[in-house]
Amino acid sequence: MNATFFDGKVSRPHPAQYTLSAYTVEIRYTDTDGQEQEVVWPLQEARLATWNPSGKTRLQFGPFPHQYLDVETADYEARFIPARQLLKPARPGLYEFVLSKGFRGVVLVGVVTVALLWVLYAYGIPALSLQVARQVPAEQEVALGDMLYRQLENSGQLPVDKAKTAHVERFWREMGVKTRLPIRIAVVESKDVNAFAVPGGHVVVFTGILKKFNRPEQLAALLAHEAAHVEKRHSLQQLIRSIAAYSIISVMFGDVSGITAVLVDNADNLVSLSYSRQHEAEADAFAVEQLARQGIDPMGAVWLMEALPTEGEVIPTLLRSHPHNAERVAATRALAKKARTRGNSSPELKRLWNEIKAAGFSLKS
- Between 295 and 323, whose beta carbon lies closer to Zn ion? 323
* Dihedral class, residue 10 (left if φ above 0, else alpha if ψ from -120 to 50, else beta): beta
Binding flag, residue 234, Zn ion (CB under 5 A) = no
Q: How far apart are CA 208 and CA 167, in angstroms?
A: 16
* Ordered DSSP codes for 102-149: HHHHHHHHHHHHHHHHHHIIIIIHHHHHHHHHHHS-HHHHHHHHHHHH
DSSP character at residue 309: -
Q: Choose one: 100-108, 261-269, 275-283, 357-365; the region binding Zn ion (CB under 5 A).
A: 275-283
The CB-of-182 to Zn ion minimum distance in angstroms stands at: 20
Binding flag, residue 322, Zn ion (CB under 5 A) = yes
Binding flag, residue 228, Zn ion (CB under 5 A) = no
Closest by CA to 273, choosing from 240, 235, 324, is 235
- Between 46 and 210, whose beta carbon lies closer to Zn ion? 210
Interface with Zn ion (CB under 5 A), residue total: 2
Binding flag, residue 328, Zn ion (CB under 5 A) = no
Q: How far apart are CA 47 and CA 342, in angstroms?
A: 82
Q: How far apart are CA 81 and CA 281, in angstroms?
A: 73
- Between 67 and 290, whose beta carbon lies closer to Zn ion? 290
Q: Which residue is nearest to Zn ion (CB)?
A: 322
Q: How far apart are CA 220 and CA 345, in angstroms?
A: 10
- Between 125 and 308, whose beta carbon lies closer to Zn ion? 308
Q: How far apart are CA 259 and CA 256, in angstroms?
A: 6
- Between 16 and 208, whose beta carbon lies closer to Zn ion? 208
- Between 61 and 275, whose beta carbon lies closer to Zn ion? 275
The CB-of-261 to Zn ion minimum distance in angstroms stands at: 27
Q: Strands, E, within 226-348: which ranges?
A: none
The CB-of-272 to Zn ion minimum distance in angstroms stands at: 12
The CB-of-228 to Zn ion minimum distance in angstroms stands at: 8
Binding flag, residue 283, Zn ion (CB under 5 A) = yes
Give the footprint of Zn ion on residues 188-217 (CB under 5 A): none
8 A C-beta contact, residue 58 and residue 50: no
The CB-of-235 to Zn ion minimum distance in angstroms stands at: 9
Residues that bind Zn ion (CB under 5 A): 283, 322
